[in-house]
């Protein structure tokens, strides 16, 4: 076997590299998602979610291609390449980031739910305007919304 053939990336190598690139891009989106969650930026969160969905479709396509490629020769079956090891590590880190974001989302929802409950219980919060629609001081000729 020549040195050139050993250095030429195989179809399998290219698929693994493509998956690694996509996984690293997904990690970047997860970090952006963390920023959106922390700042309660719903527009940014929606944008990231859309891009994550598109990227997941691309990752699934690459995985489907990988599963349907011919089996590698015997020596390649027993040893992971450096690129495959990097991909495995990237998948683990992506999973960790995704779980962390799920926790952040849960905490944010708890915070928002608690804030909403406090706001709904406060009598001052329910009556901010007079019947003419102008802002009024608390307790002076207020119209309360029913609901």
| Domain range summary for the chain, segments of one domain joined by + | 3-122
pLDDT the model gives residue 62: 93
Q: What is the pLDDT of residue 41?
A: 92
Q: What distance in Å separates the CA atoms of residue 58 and residue 64, rounded to the nearest whole number?
A: 10
Residue with tokens 């590299």: 17
If the chain, 147 residues long, is cut into consecutive pieces of 10 residues, what is the mean pLDDT of each piece?
A: 59 90 97 94 94 96 87 54 92 97 93 85 61 63 48
Look up the pTM and report it.
0.69
Note the pLDDT of residue 81. 80
């Amino acid at each position: 076997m020549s040195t050139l053939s050993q250095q030429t990336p195989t179809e399998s190598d290219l698929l693994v590299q493509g998956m690694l690139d996509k996984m690293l891009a997904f990690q970047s989106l997860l970090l952006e998602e963390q920023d959106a969650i922390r700042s309660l930026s719903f527009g940014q969160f929606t944008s990231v979610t859309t891009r994550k969905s598109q990227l997941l479709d691309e990752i699934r396509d690459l995985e489907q291609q990988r599963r349907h490629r011919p089996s590698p020769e015997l020596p390649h079956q027993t040893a992971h390449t450096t690129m495959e090891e990097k991909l495995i590590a990237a998948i683990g880190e992506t999973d960790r980031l995704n779980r962390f974001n799920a926790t952040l989302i849960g905490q944010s929802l708890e915070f928002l739910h608690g804030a909403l409950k406090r706001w709904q219980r406060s009598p001052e919060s329910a009556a901010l305007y007079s019947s003419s629609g102008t802002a009024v001081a608390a307790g002076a000729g207020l119209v309360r919304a029913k609901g």
